Amino acid sequence: MMENAWIIPLFPLVSFFILLVVGKRMKEASAYVGMAATLLSFIGAVAVFAERLNEPTYQVKQVWFTIGNMNITAGFEINPLNALMLVVVSLVSFLVHMYSKGYMHGDERFSVFYAYLGLFTFAMLGLVISANLLQTYIFWELVGLGSFLLIGFYFYKEEAKAAAKKAFIMTRIGDVGLLIGMILLFWQTGSFQYDDIFAAVKAGSVSETMITLSAILIFIGAVGKSGQFPLHTWLPDAMEGPTPVSALIHAATMVAAGVYLVASLFPLYEASEPAMLTVAVVGGFTAIFAASIGLVQTDIKRVLAYSTVSQLGYMMLALGSGGYVAGIFHLTTHAFFKALLFLAAGSVIHAVHTQDIEKMGGLWRKMPLTAPLFLIGTLAISGVPLLSGFFSKDEILVAAWTNGHVILFWLAVVAAFFTAFYMFRLFFLVFGGDMRGDAHDVHESPTVMTMPMIVLGVLAVVAGYINTPWFGTFLGDFLTGETNVHEEAPAWIMVVATAVSLAGIFLAWLMYGKKSLSRDWLSSRAPLTYNVLFNKYYVDEFYTITVGYATKVLSLFLQYVDRFIVEGLAGLIASLTKAIGTLGSRWQNGQVQMYGAAMFIGLTILVVILAFTGGYL
Amino acid sequence: MNDTYFLSLLVFSPLLGIILLAFVPKTQEQTIKLLGFLATLPSLILALFAFGQYLRGYDLSRLAEKHAWIHFGKFSFLSESTFTVDYELNVDGFALVMIVLTALLATLAAVASIHIKKEWKGYFMLFLLLEIGMLGVFAAGNLVLFFIFFEVTLVPMFFLIGKWGYFEKEKAAYSYLLYNGIGSAILLLVILILFARTGTSNIAVLQELLRDPQGAVQMIAPISNDLRYGLFIALLVAFGVKLPIVPLHSWMLRVHVQAPPSIVMLHSGVLLKIGAFGLIRFGMGLFPEQFQRFATLIAILGVVNLLYGAFLAFVQEDFKMVLAYSSISHMGIVLIGLGALNEAGIQGAIFQVVSHGLISALLFLLVSIMYERVHTTMLDHLGGLAKAMPLVSGFLLAGAMASLGLPGMSGFISEFTAFLGLFKAKPAIAAVGTLGIIMTAVYLLRAVLNMTYGTAKRGVIEAADIRTVELVPVLILLGCIIFIGVYPHILAQPLEATIQTMMNGLGG
């Protein structure tokens, strides 16, 4: 199956074209086309994964086009990371396709939604089997297109329009970094192929400065896509898209592409100390930065969005600390539990028709399936022992500690505390207490929506066991191709992680569950801090008054240049022509003396030129 | 050389349409439109046939035509061919690609001309004359013929803008004539000097004479190094008006806004490209040494074009103005590629010429379709078009995506290749230029989303979606754009030989 792995992304592409052409007539039956396509992809992905378990990496490349005597190749590669990503992406995509059938029911543009989902899934699957940087870049941009289209799915809403535009532009800023980094590497190594680049780096034929420069430039691309600080602002706004989209694109798959990219280029990063440090610091900072914003948000999807940003920061921190396996491990578990959380949140929104958690409450009994599933996701992300998030987060903390990033380690611990707190704040506000809004005829979502959530719920519990210090490091062995002796990590790290997680949960319970602590504890005691957090550190405002205005002012300035200087030049040429014309016509006055004088002057000029140049210039 | 008339047939076949049109009463709208459209087909079929044959390995030099035409005096002491201007047509891969592009866009623009409201007879006769001029420019084998065809495009364009355009059409037409007239005058001067000094205007012969130091002996009179620089700069200005290079662009803004969209398809799609074609063929081909000395300047001019156009497009209120500045910006990529002076750069520049031709034609075709329904292109007056016209809106978005260089479409391949080249040659200039990649996304999304997304404005809600006769050309253009984006080899292959020749000229 590995040699035919290129077919896997094509199923959703076919679905995209079919739905684009005949979707309107198929109405809601479109869902079956999309589901069938992704199911086929998933089956293919599992087959490839199973085959790759026992076989070496498979790679194909072909000449795509030529520039002079340089060949630009295209192909695909099935290495452990790619095989794993194929399974994760196609599985989540299939579940989201299924879920959307219920969630999008009755929407006027139902088939368009499924078409876009197909386009996105195609691009994402293509991305994770790319064997070279150029191809990665191509699919990288195409997933961005899918994301853009789906964020702006409710195109008539001004917010959705603004969010879609913002997402496209913010990620494009990062993409330019990736583009430059990629081109620099090409001229250094003569190839876009990953293995050629690694070989050149290993052989030392690329200077250290160049490695660092291109690695950091490429990382800028990852920062944009994975919503890392300072390009994170688009991701929370992207929640304007339909909730299944948030689950698929803005939680489980596309936003993890940045992490995947750094992981794919890991040998490049390992060759540069400063690049690794940059990745770790940006990741660590983003983890705590976003978590702190998540503490006070009141929109259910935005809390989850900041949580995603924060968790992606964790993954970057892991990679930057040399924890290759830890980063990918967390990527995998996060994909499951965060998709679960978003789908559960979607189920809640579907039932109460609001995203404001202040208007929810008391849903535990009314939604007997969604509520426990949301709880599972919450426990998993909070790092409660024995669930998937616990193991992967522990790995990251261990990586940060053993790598000597003491400050980053403690930042990550605090972020873990924040995570547990804001997630349980969310849980208690939505499911605990009494209904605060006006939605009273709340009922559980249909089976087609709860089924995918149950699958993800199971995975959120058990996915951690593919890589544990107790039962074996299967994932690590598979990814690195060798039997890992689990590093002798200080046992106290696990204890600390568990302690902060439980402390966060306990505090949330005190404030929002038992209510023995006042809810407005922070807003009343430190209003300034609260406001800063609530307004997301004013980053958006800062961009508006700096980059936003600068662009506008420069453009308007150029507008004046264009209107007055360039047009003035045009006017000058026109009047010059006119003046010469007037002058010439004045000489044509019918007097022989004047003609004689003109002839004489003309002849003189010619003679002078002849005398000076000898006839030829 | 031999008796093939293939290229003549290709270039002059629209003439048949002009003659037939002359006999149709001018009130028969449908007949005229149909005839106008049919008259563009022979060229297209012949061009595609030649292209297909070339891809299969046909030797294009066998298509060359040469017939004695004009003699200037008797110079028996010199060789037979001195001071003669022959009627010679020939093509290489690059020219053939341009001819295919021209013929294709002419046919599609003829379809888009269904939106023309008056005096169809005159319109189509001028239209077909314009097509002859454009095809001839690319097939001309010597400078005199090139110049004649070049001028043939000028006259019909003047009338097409001035008569069938929008509100300020006369001003636009005169502005067009003034700038291009000056450009032509400079070009003529260069051609005359070259002809006087060398005794020939044949492009291939000139190329050899100018390059080869021995060639100086065969010239009627030597061309000093200073003069070469002078001629090169003159060419740069002459074609810089056409391309256009900032600050010589103000005429083309008016044409973009005032001319009928079907004519802008050809103007932006083909006529601007003559500037690029001339710059490559004559600037780089005849004066490689001078070109090399000016490469840095050209790259900088390219970045200036790219950014200047992009920033200005960001604050325009009229969608046609956005597209006009966008054309300026995209022509910057051509200069960026040429300034790189390596294979990647030149290939990127030529790719961009073709790709932008297709993309801007698509966008103006959509403008035509949209204007027909909502009677405005002002961004403020539009909004929420996607509700009433989902297909038109979808295509507009696709066009914008192509224009901003989304991978999988032709714009990406050309932009990427041009930047790839410049990053090798002049990384610092290229790094500044990448700002343009971001700005392109910013201004295009601003403009297109303003029109199609958001709440629907009054007067927009009832507008009908695209008709089949409009749909077909849109799909053809989009198909070409995506095909090149996915399979760039279709362009890389025919250009290979031309680029190799260019590189040899540059001594690389």
H or E element in which residue B101 lies: helix B93-112
Report the C-alpha gap between B395 and B17 in whole angstroms: 32
Bridge partners (DSSP) of residue B74 are: none
Paired tokens of A5: 């792995």
Bridge partners (DSSP) of residue A63 are: A73
- Both B336 and B403 in a single domain? yes
- DSSP annotation of A64 reads E
Chain A partners within 8 Å of B386 (Cβ): 155-156
Q: How many residues does chain A have?
A: 617
Chain A partners within 8 Å of B230 (Cβ): 617
- Selected for mutation to probe chain B from A122, A137, A562 (highest B CB count within 10 Å) is A562
Give A39-59 as a 3 state SS string: HHHHHHHHHHHHHHHHCCCEE
Query: Using 50, 70 and 90 to split pLDDT, how confident is the model at A535?
Result: confident
Shortest CA gap B17–chain A (Å): 37
CB-CB under 8 Å, A145 with B401: yes
Chain B: residue whose CA lies nearest to A144:
B406
Chain A: residue whose CA lies nearest to B391:
A20
Share of chain A above pLDDT 90, in %: 50
CB-CB under 8 Å, B408 with A138: yes
**Residue A283 contacts residue A302 (beta carbons within 8 Å):** no
Place of tokens 């380690």: A409
CB-CB under 8 Å, B311 with A555: yes
Report the C-alpha gap between A31 and A310 in whole angstroms: 33
Q: In the predicted model, what is the mean pLDDT of residues B352-356? A: 95
- Both B190 and B245 in a single domain? yes
Bridge partners (DSSP) of residue A67 are: A70
Give B441-500 as a 3 state SS string: HHHHHHHHHHHHCCCCCCCCCCCCCCCHHHHHHHHHHHHHHHHHHHCCHHHHHHHHHHHH
Name the 3-class secondary structure at A60: strand
**What contacts A610, CB < 8 A, 6 or more positions away?**
none
The answer to whether residue B74 scores a pLDDT higher than 70 is no
CB-CB under 8 Å, B407 with A142: yes
Shortest CA gap A87–chain B (Å): 25
Average pLDDT of chain B is 89
Share of chain B above pLDDT 70, in %: 95
Report the C-alpha gap between A571 and A22 in whole angstroms: 55
Shortest CA gap A129–chain B (Å): 17
Calculate the alpha carbon distances from B375 to B372, B382, B421 in Å. 6, 10, 43
From B284, B317, B348, the end of a domain falls on B284
- Both B314 and B242 in a single domain? no
Q: How many CB pairs under 8 A join A and B?
A: 140
Chain B partners within 8 Å of A66 (Cβ): 489, 492, 496
C-alpha angle B44-B150-B504 in degrees, rounded to nearest 5: 85
**Residue A182 contacts residue B434 (beta carbons within 8 Å):** no
- Selected for mutation to probe chain B from A16, A21, A161, A556 (highest B CB count within 10 Å) is A161
Chain A partners within 8 Å of B384 (Cβ): 155-156
- Both B280 and B300 in a single domain? no
Bridge partners (DSSP) of residue A73 are: A63
Domain range enclosing B503: 294-508
Chain A partners within 8 Å of B246 (Cβ): 566
Is position B289 within any domain? no
Q: In the predicted model, what is the mean pLDDT of residues B49-72? A: 87
Chain A: residue whose CA lies nearest to B425:
A187
- Both B60 and B202 in a single domain? yes
| pLDDT for the residue numbered A106 | 86
Chain A partners within 8 Å of B484 (Cβ): none
**Residue A371 contacts residue A341 (beta carbons within 8 Å):** no
- Selected for mutation to probe chain A from B308, B321, B333, B420 (highest A CB count within 10 Å) is B420
Query: Using 50, 70 and 90 to split pLDDT, how confident is the model at B217?
Result: low
- Both B201 and B233 in a single domain? yes
Bridge partners (DSSP) of residue A76 are: A60, A130
Q: Is the ipTM of this complex over 0.85?
A: yes
Torsion angle in degrees (nearest 10) through CA of A47, A52, A55, A56: 140
CB-CB under 8 Å, B454 with A158: yes
- Both B280 and B298 in a single domain? no
- DSSP annotation of A248 reads I
Shortest CA gap A54–chain B (Å): 34
Report the C-alpha gap between B229 and B245 in whole angstroms: 19
Chain A partners within 8 Å of B251 (Cβ): 570
Report the C-alpha gap between B161 and B159 in whole angstroms: 5
Shortest CA gap B416–chain A (Å): 9
Q: In the predicted model, what is the mean pLDDT of residues A38-59? A: 90
| pLDDT for the residue numbered B78 | 63
Name the 3-class secondary structure at B202: strand
- Both B219 and B191 in a single domain? yes
Chain A partners within 8 Å of B419 (Cβ): 179, 183
CB-CB under 8 Å, A161 with B449: yes
- Both B222 and B355 in a single domain? no
Q: In the predicted model, what is the mean pLDDT of residues B350-367? A: 94
Chain B: residue whose CA lies nearest to A168:
B441
Shortest CA gap B451–chain A (Å): 11
| pLDDT for the residue numbered A362 | 82
CB-CB under 8 Å, A573 with B312: no
Q: Which of B408, B438, B500 minimises the CB distance to A142?
A: B408
Chain A: residue whose CA lies nearest to B241:
A570
Bridge partners (DSSP) of residue B65 are: B89
Calculate the alpha carbon distances from A51 to A1, A57, A81, A130 in Å. 7, 10, 14, 18
CB-CB under 8 Å, B178 with A574: yes
- Selected for mutation to probe chain B from A24, A65, A559 (highest B CB count within 10 Å) is A65
Name the 3-class secondary structure at B90: coil
Bridge partners (DSSP) of residue A65 are: A72
- Both B299 and B269 in a single domain? no
Torsion angle in degrees (nearest 10) through CA of B293, B297, B303, B304: -160
Is the omega angle on the peptide bond into residue A469 within 30 degrees of 0, that is, cis?
A: no
Query: Using 50, 70 and 90 to split pLDDT, how confident is the model at A312?
Result: very high
- Selected for mutation to probe chain A from B177, B404, B423 (highest A CB count within 10 Å) is B423
Query: Using 50, 70 and 90 to split pLDDT, how confident is the model at B75?
Result: low
Report the C-alpha gap between B174 and A122 in whole angstroms: 51
- Both B200 and B62 in a single domain? yes
Q: Which of B420, B454, B500 minimises the CB distance to A161?
A: B454
CB-CB under 8 Å, B441 with A172: yes
Shortest CA gap A45–chain B (Å): 24
Burial of B465 (0-12, 13-18, 19+ CB in 10 A): middle
Average pLDDT of chain A is 89
Q: Which of B224, B413, B419 minimises the CB distance to A183?
A: B419
Name the 3-class secondary structure at B66: strand
Q: Which of B175, B230, B315 minimises the CB distance to A555?
A: B315
Angle between the N-to-C axes of helices A370-382 and A447-462, in degrees from 0 to 180, rounded to the nearest 10: 30
The answer to whether residue A615 scores a pLDDT higher than 70 is no
Query: Which pTM does this prediction carry?
Result: 0.92
Query: Using 50, 70 and 90 to split pLDDT, how confident is the model at A475?
Result: confident
Q: In the predicted model, what is the mean pLDDT of residues A587-600? A: 87
Give the model confidence (pLDDT) of B29-38 as tens digits: 889 999 999 9
Report the C-alpha gap between A552 and A113 in whole angstroms: 34
Chain A partners within 8 Å of B471 (Cβ): none
Q: In the predicted model, what is the mean pLDDT of residues B23-33? A: 88
The answer to whether residue A118 scores a pLDDT higher than 70 is yes
**What contacts B249, CB < 8 A, 6 or more positions away?**
A566, B328
User: Lowest-pLDDT range, A159-173, A458-472, B17-31, B189-203?
Assistant: A458-472
Report the C-alpha gap between A130 and A193 in whole angstroms: 9
Chain B: residue whose CA lies nearest to A171:
B438
CB-CB under 8 Å, B226 with A562: no
Bridge partners (DSSP) of residue B84 are: B71
CB-CB under 8 Å, A176 with B344: no
Paired tokens of A60: 């194909």
Number of domains in chain B: 2
DSSP class per residue in A143-186: HHHHHHHHHTSSTTSHHHHHHHHHHHHHHHHHHHHHHHHHHHHH
Chain B partners within 8 Å of A220 (Cβ): none
Is position B387 within any domain? yes
Chain A partners within 8 Å of B406 (Cβ): 141-142, 145
- Both B71 and B30 in a single domain? yes
Shortest CA gap A238–chain B (Å): 16
Report the C-alpha gap between B453 and B384 in whole angstroms: 4
Give the model confidence (pLDDT) of B436-463 as tens digits: 999 999 999 999 998 888 887 766 666 7
| pLDDT for the residue numbered B201 | 86
The answer to whether residue B187 scores a pLDDT higher than 70 is yes
Is position B55 within any domain? yes
